[in-house]
Structure 1
Amino acid sequence: MNGFEIPLAGVSTTFQTTILNVVYTLTLQWRNAAGLWFLDIADASANPIVSGLPLVTGADLLEQYGYLEFGFELWVQSDVNPDDLPTYENLGTSSHLYVVTP
């Protein structure tokens, strides 16, 4: 398995990234009511594919969407305690979003 980090700045943002030669539009949003970061995944033209994924640790964020055949996994992990949820302050510094490919 191979992996790489998607660099994040810890602010709500929309950007494009290429994974396995496919361009995706990713939107990250902090939601105060839930106290969590959420991820939306769209195609290069911003057509939604998956919306409202909470950035939680300990599981592949895309596992429940296997039928969409992304061909990769998304994992969130923190530096100090791998199972700590990313906070508003530490996403992109000590909490990270990783892509894992076969």
Structure 2
Amino acid sequence: MANFEIPLTPDPQTFTVSLSGVDYRLTVQWRNADGAGWILDIADTSANPIIQGIPLVTGVNLLEQYAYLGFTGALWVQTTADPDAVPTFDNLGVGSHLYWYTA
């Protein structure tokens, strides 16, 4: 599998990224509610929502349950020091990374 790290910083952000030749608009926000954390929204380049409210958790393909939408890869979160540690407010993009994997 080929992989690509989606560059993030520990700040709320919205940006466009090309994943397997398709452009998406990603929005990453911190939710400070108990048990929440970083949340990802995916839209097309015109800001029409595709998926909203995906928690950035580790150990799973974040898009697996959305296979019917035709994604051609997997989104995966992994933390450098402990691969199963969930991203914290301060380490997103620093010690915790979001990857796009393709077959």
> Is 1:24 equivalent to 2:24 in the alignment?
yes
Distance 2:6 2:78 in 1: 12
2:88 aligned counterpart, secondary structure: coil
Per-residue deviation, residues 19-40 of structure 1 (Å, max 9, x unmatched): 1111100000000014410000
Distance (whole Å) between structure 2 residues aligned to residue 13 and residue 7 of structure 1: 11
Task: Letter of the 1:3 partner, please give it.
Answer: N
How many residue pairs end up in the alignment?
Answer: 102
| Distance in 2, Cα, partners of 1:22 & 1:45 | 13
TM norm structure 2? 0.97
Structure 1 unaligned regions, length at least 5:
none
Aligned letter for 2:39?
F
Counterpart of 2:28, as a letter, is: L
**Is the partner of 1:58 in helix, strand or coil?**
coil
Q: Post-superposition shift, 1:47? A: 0.4
Report what 2:87 is aligned to. Answer: 86
Given residue 22 of structure 1, which amino acid in structure 2 is its aligned partner?
A: V
> C-alpha separation between the residues in 1 aligned to 2:24 and 2:44?
5
Structure 2 residues without counterparts, runs of 5 or longer: none
Distance 1:80 1:39 in 2: 22
Matched, 1:7 2:13: no
